[in-house]
Amino acid sequence: MQGVNWVALSVFVLLFGFITWLGFAAARWRKGDLDLLHEWGLGGRRFGTLITWFLVGGDLYTAYTFIAVPALAFGAGALAFFAVPYTIVVYPLLFLVFPRLWNVCAKRGYITGSDFVRGRFGNRWLALAITVTGIAATMPYIALQLVGIQVVIGALGVSGTGFMADLPLIIAFLVLAAFTYSSGLRAPASIAIVKDILIYITAFAVVIVIPMQLGGFGKIFAAVPAQKLLLAVPGPHTTGAYGAYATLALGSALALLLYPHSLTGILSANSGRAIRRNAALLPGYSFVLGLLALIGFFAIAAGVSKLPEFAGGFKQFHDNYAVPALLLHSFPSWFVGVAFAAIGIGALVPAAIMSIAAANLYTRNIHREFINHNPTDKEEAQIAKWVSLIVKLGALVFILFVPTQYAIQLQLLGGIWIIQTLPSVMIGVYTRWFNSWALLAGWAVGIVTGTRLAVLANLKPTYPVAFAGHTFPGYTAFYTLLLNLVIAVVLTVILNAISGRQAKDETLAADYRA
């Protein structure tokens, strides 16, 4: 392996070894019976405010975020900063909606969002639709975490051909699979603490040191092309980039907490009050995200594309290699090892939670609902453990044998798909007015239309909607959610008029209150 940065690699391996031990040791942390699904898959719902803060933050702010947001700023400029208002909008939603969801799930023993939908609306097919959507949206997300590890491994100079080229990624997969199987959600919860400390250290070091090296923020912004500093002013009869920016921020915020891994982190809290506290504390991550986005501008000012560190990177990653190349150029090797470990560990935490969330969904809402109605507690937990391995193996195979670009494109589709569950989950927390079959029809129309528009746009996240001589470019997920809601409302009125009967709601008003 020529060109290996041995100092950085040694620090990286040492930190990876530490979190591997921590992942296995977590099985004995706040010890519970891991043959019970709620203990394995939700940590027994015993995580307090601080642990939930690390877990949910580690869940939402992934390794790919660390790489992709600065890469988008490096390549596209100001549009990348939609991620900052989007993560700010998320937390009022977390404060208003999800303590109520936690309350009802805790009182009724629900493990997944689909459990809640099944109980609330009494429609197993609607619950199945929510389940399949969640699993489909999660799989490429796990694959993208492995992309983050690939980028870091390449930046360390570890290369090869054939099996040897993939060996480091396979080792990382085996580590992830083993401690997730052994410790369940306790593993990523404990590792998230280490991961977030490393990311905060890295982010603050980058924002302080690199501007000093480049002559200050004034020189950095002066070096960024004007068209990347500001969104392009819309032309006549169009909202242009402004509309795309606004709908990307709002639509992404509405979708984020609906992902199964987000719900898993939230439902693992020990109370609705802990979730409200986190809604107030988690914006600290939004601040760091803004700092990370600035790194893309740092890379432009440093001329990263002309650096030998960038030229030596994996060509298939393009702009995603900007952050590692900048770190290699600007910091001593030992700190590069720390920073790369933060990114690598930042991949393992969400990947573990995602695989657990997908396993919970399959076990509770497919296997238990349609295959074996009365599994023992031990059988149910064992099925989830095996499924978590299968999910991770599927993501690994996807990354090894399918071009990386497809994982990115499918993840963009995942946002379009998962937002279609909003009427059933988020609105369902507040009202039972909707007819379950109307919700299912709205979901189907949103899924089909969103997928079709994404294909027509060559899998770009935005689509230009033309209306009354005006063009409104916007986030496809947001537009299809509006269509979903219109269908659900209209059909609810019609179906309720035809037949006032609805399936029994097994939840009670008191279930939603602390």
**Contact at 8 Å (CB) between 121 and 505?**
yes
pLDDT at 158: 76
Interacting residues of 347 by C-beta distance below 8 A, sequence separation 6+: 62, 63, 64, 145, 146, 148, 149, 172
Helix (H) or strand (E) holding 420: none
Strands 470-475 and 462-467: what pairing?
antiparallel
Q: How far apart are CA 301 and CA 212, in angstroms?
A: 12
3-state DSSP assignment of residue 31: coil
> pTM to 2 decimals?
0.91
User: Is 79:241 a contact under the CB 8 Å cutoff?
Assistant: yes
Q: Which residues of 237-261 are buried (b: 16+ CB within 10 A; e: fewer)?
A: eebbbebbbbbbbbbbbbbbbbbbb
Kindly state the helix (H) or strand (E) to which residue 155 belongs, with its residue range. Answer: helix 124-155
| Residue of 127, 106, 105, 122 whose CA lies nearest to 368 | 127
Q: Can you give the length of the chain in residues?
A: 514
pLDDT (0 to 100) of residue 314: 46
| Dist. CA 492–CA 433, nearest whole Å | 8
Report which of 486, 395, 473 is spatially closest to residue 434, judged by C-alpha positions. Answer: 486
Structure tokens at 41: 């898959």
For residue 472, the SS3 value is strand
Packing angle of the helix pair 283-301, 83-108 (nearest 10 deg): 150
Cβ proximity of 441 and 111 under 8 Å? no
Q: Give the other-Cβ count within 10 Å of 144's Cβ.
A: 27
pLDDT for residue 313: 47
Backbone angles phi, psi at 474, to 5 degrees: -160, 170
CATH class of 6-418: mainly alpha
Beta carbons of 68 and 293 less than 8 angstroms apart: no
Whose tokens are 């969801």? That residue is 101
Q: Which of 80, 258, 63 is nearest to 144 (CA)?
A: 63
**Half-sphere exposure of residue 176, counting CA atoms within 13 Å on the CB side?**
32
User: Which burial class, exposed, middle or buried, applies to 511 when counting CB atoms under 10 A from its CB (0-12, 13-18, 19+)?
Assistant: middle
Single out the residue of 125, 76, 80, 133 nearest to residue 451, CA to CA.
133
Distance between the two ends of the chain, CA-based, in angstroms?
A: 58
The domain limits of the chain are: 6-418
pLDDT for position 72: 82
Per-residue pLDDT of the chain (514 residues), as tens digits, is 447 888 988 999 999 889 889 988 887 877 788 889 999 999 989 999 999 998 888 777 777 677 778 888 888 888 888 888 888 899 999 999 999 999 999 999 999 999 999 999 999 999 999 999 999 998 888 877 877 787 888 788 776 666 666 777 788 888 888 889 988 999 999 898 888 898 889 889 999 999 999 999 999 999 998 888 888 888 888 888 888 889 988 998 999 999 999 999 999 999 999 999 999 988 888 888 888 888 889 988 988 876 665 555 444 446 677 888 888 889 999 999 999 988 888 888 888 899 999 999 999 999 999 998 889 999 999 999 999 999 888 888 877 776 666 666 677 788 899 999 999 999 999 999 999 999 999 999 999 999 999 888 888 888 898 888 888 999 999 999 999 999 999 999 999 888 767 788 999 999 999 7
Query: What are phi and psi for residue 70, nearest 5 degrees?
Result: -65, -35
Cβ contacts of 11-14, under 8 Å, gap ≥ 24: 11/333, 11/334, 11/336, 11/337, 11/338, 11/341, 12/152, 12/156, 12/337, 12/340, 12/341, 12/344
Contacts 24+ apart (CB under 8 A), 402-407: 403/316, 404/147, 404/150, 404/316, 404/317, 405/316, 407/140, 407/143, 407/144, 407/147
